[in-house]
Amino acid sequence: MSPTPPSSSPPRGPDSSATALHVVNQISAMVAYWDANQRCVFSNAAYQDWFGKTPDEMLGMSMQDLLGPLYEKNLPYIQGALAGKPQVFERQIPLPGGGTRESVATYTPDIVDGVVRGFSVHVADVTRLRQREAALGQTIREVIQTLEKTKDSFRSKDLGKLRLQLTMILDQLLGP
C-alpha cells in the first residue's frame, strides 16, 4: 500500500465511518474482521502489500484461501479466537513479490451476548525489530567471546559475573 500523499486529508463532516476507513487504510498493519465462518467481512488496504489482495478482493474470501500454507499454522489461533479467547502470536509471512515479513498477530474475539460472532485481526510488521534484536544478540555473543579470550586480564569472579549478566540479557532478548 502506498500511503496517501500528505496533502490528502480524511473526509470531513458527519460521516465518521468514512473518516475511520480513511484512517485505517493509512496504517501499514493489516486490520480485518473475519466472521465465525472464517470469511472476510472487512480488510484494510495493507492486505495489498502483504498478500497482493485489495479490500474488494478480500471481501467474502475464506481465511484458508488467503493464508494458503500458513492456514494450518494459524488454525490453533483461529480456533482459539472463535472459542472466545484473545490470541497473540508471531509469524513469518512470505510476501507476494518475494521476501518475508516478521509479524505479530492479534486475534480479538467479537462476543455479543456470550456468542462469538467473529474476530478482529491486527497484524503488525516487526521485521526491523527482529533484525535489531538479532544484531544486538550477535554483538553480545561477540563481547562474551572477546571476554573469554582475554579472561586472564580479569579476575575470574568478575568475568563470571559479567558473562552471566550478558547471557541473561541475551536470553531475555532471544529466548534460551
Q: What is the pLDDT of residues 41-77, one digit of tens each?
A: 999 999 998 899 999 999 999 999 999 999 999 999 9
Residue 144 structural domain: 129-174
3-state secondary structure 55-107: HHHHCCCEHHHHHCCHHHHHHHHHHHHHCCCCEEEEEEEECCCCCEEEEEEEE
**Stronger pLDDT, 145 or 157, i.e. the higher one:** 145
Per the DSSP assignment, residues forming a β-bridge with 100 are 94
Residue-level length of the chain = 176
Nearest to 106 by CA among 133, 64, 66, 78: 78
Q: Does some domain include residue 95?
A: yes
Residues 56, 113: one domain? yes
Same-domain check for residues 72 and 39: yes
Q: Which of residues 127 and 114 earns the better pLDDT score?
A: 114
Which grid coordinates belong to 59?
A: 471481501
Residues 20 and 101 in one domain: yes
Residues 25 and 80 in one domain: yes
Q: Which of 51, 27, 42, 65 is nearest to 119 (CA)?
A: 42
CATH code for the domain in which residue 61 is found: 3.30.450.20
